[in-house]
Amino acid sequence: MAKKTAKKAVKKVSRKKALPVPAKKPAKVIMIALLILLLALAFGGLVALAKSQKTFIKGLFIPAVPTPTATAIVVPTAVPTKTVALPGTNQRLFEASKTKEEMPSIDITQAKFLFDSGKAIFIDARSIEEYEQAHIKGALPIPAGLTQENIPKFATMLKDKILVTYCHGSGCHLANKTANALFDAGYRKVCIFWGGWPHWTEAKFPITQKEAPKP
Amino acid sequence: MQARNNTFSFMAFIRHPVFLACLKIILGALFIISSVPKICHPQNFIEAIAAYRILPFALLPILAATVPWIQLFAGVFLVLDIFVQSSALIISGLLFVFIVAIASAFSRGLDIECGCFDLMGLEDKVGWVALIRDTIFLMGSGLLVIFDKNTLNFYGVTKKFFK
């Protein structure tokens, strides 16, 4: 009897030893990872496509409502050298935003379009020192940290204008912070010029610069 | 002998299902949380990647449209305990890329936002903190790749139902 149990025990041990170690399947792991990636990519792609379709459709319909089509055709052909942007896409810049998320983020062409229109005021969200060194022509200094003090100071100048905030360009969030503060203060026609100071100076558009001290 | 015991207990600790479950939930939740603002405001994310000055501008919108979704999917799969090894592998890959990008920006002395958690409004600049944090995350996801399972596990709930 004892021998039998001993044999069984040996068998058990040998079985345990003989059991294959659960095989790791890196190929399977990578395959499933690729599938998840594909799923995410497909989803992201579809969402992006749906968004672009929406803006495309919006762009198609907006210009037809406020402006007659004849002028819309004449403007770009008559002045080909000036910055001419599509009336449909730029129409949005003159409209009030209902939420902070709706505030348009604009590029250099749209910024120049607004600058030329004369209906916009540029707002420098950088520090006062940087503003004093140089700024976009006609811009007002409202640094992101001094919004509480400076917004009421310029209230009369900001009234009924389209406000375009800018800072150091890509990666700088000061323009967004100032735009949010302006929105909170009750201004609804606020745009964020994301290209900011670097794009404006690269394009050599009008700036006001501090004169170098004479020797 | 004692040292051997210690290493044994440490190994047992990192293989322990509760420890792995905590890792999954923390990592997954972090990735979900960081991906949502990027999905809602892709323009901000494009600006954040552009600030690194590594990739050409044409690639940025494509990345901004896809990377946050990859983060979200991998995060959700981790939290739900589905195909953990594969999801953790994806997260490890993303973290590796983030670490390389942050290290490159840091070495070039760029004073920019990280683009990791700052899109939610938190202060998060490129620097040692971001590098060390991402390295710790990478170690965590590495542990999941090595020690976890790659099934529809749902923390063992499916086993109970389909027994």
pLDDT of residue A109: 85
pLDDT of residue A17: 47
Instruction: Specify if A168 maps to a domain.
Output: yes
The answer to whether ipTM exceeds 0.85 is no
Structural contact between residues A85 and A107, judged by C-beta atoms closer than 8 angstroms: no
> Which residue range(s) make up the domain with A94?
85-209
Instruction: Specify if A93 maps to a domain.
Output: yes
Instruction: Specify if A138 maps to a domain.
Output: yes
Say yes or no: B50 contacts chain A, CB-CB below 8 A.
Answer: yes
Residue A17, Cβ density class (10 Å: 0-12 exposed, 13-18 middle, ≥19 buried): exposed
* Torsions phi, psi for A124 (to 5 deg): -85, 115
Say yes or no: B29 contacts chain A, CB-CB below 8 A.
Answer: no
* Binary contact (B89, A29; C-beta < 8 A): yes
Instruction: Specify if A36 maps to a domain.
Output: no
Which among A91, A105, A94 has a CA at the least distance from the CA of A165? Answer: A105
Which among B134, B148, B161 has a CA at the least distance from the CA of B77? Answer: B148
Instruction: Specify if A187 maps to a domain.
Output: yes
Instruction: Specify if A154 maps to a domain.
Output: yes
* Binary contact (B69, A171; C-beta < 8 A): no
* Binary contact (B43, A28; C-beta < 8 A): no
Listed as ranges, residues in chain A with pLDDT below 50 are 10, 13-23, 62-86, 214-215
* Binary contact (A37, B70; C-beta < 8 A): yes
**What is the C-alpha to C-alpha distance for residues B100 and B102, in angstroms, rounded to an integer?**
6
pLDDT in tens, chain B (163 residues): 455 555 668 888 888 889 999 999 999 999 999 999 999 888 888 888 888 888 887 888 889 889 999 999 999 999 999 999 999 999 999 999 999 999 999 998 888 888 888 777 777 888 899 999 999 999 999 999 999 888 888 888 877 776 6
pLDDT per position as a tens digit, B139-153: 999 999 999 888 888
Q: What is the CATH number of the domain that holds A99?
A: 3.40.250.10
Instruction: Specify if A26 maps to a domain.
Output: no
Distance, in angstroms, between B61 CA and closest chain A CA?
A: 9
**What is the C-alpha to C-alpha distance for residues B155 and A43, in angstroms, rounded to an integer?**
26
* Torsions phi, psi for A97 (to 5 deg): -95, 140
pLDDT per position as a tens digit, B76-95: 999 999 999 999 999 999 99
Q: Which residues contact A33 (CB under 8 A, 6 or more apart)?
A: B83, B86, B87, B89, B90
Distance, in angstroms, between A101 CA and closest chain B CA?
A: 8
| Domains: count for chain A | 1
Q: Which residues contact A154 (CB under 8 A, 6 or more apart)?
A: A140, A142
Instruction: Specify if A124 maps to a domain.
Output: yes
pLDDT of residue A65: 44
Which among A34, A29, A20 has a CA at the least distance from the CA of B150? Answer: A29
Distance, in angstroms, between A25 CA and closest chain B CA?
A: 9
Please give the angle made by the CA atoms of A180, A183 and A186, to the nearest 5 degrees: 155
pLDDT of residue A131: 87
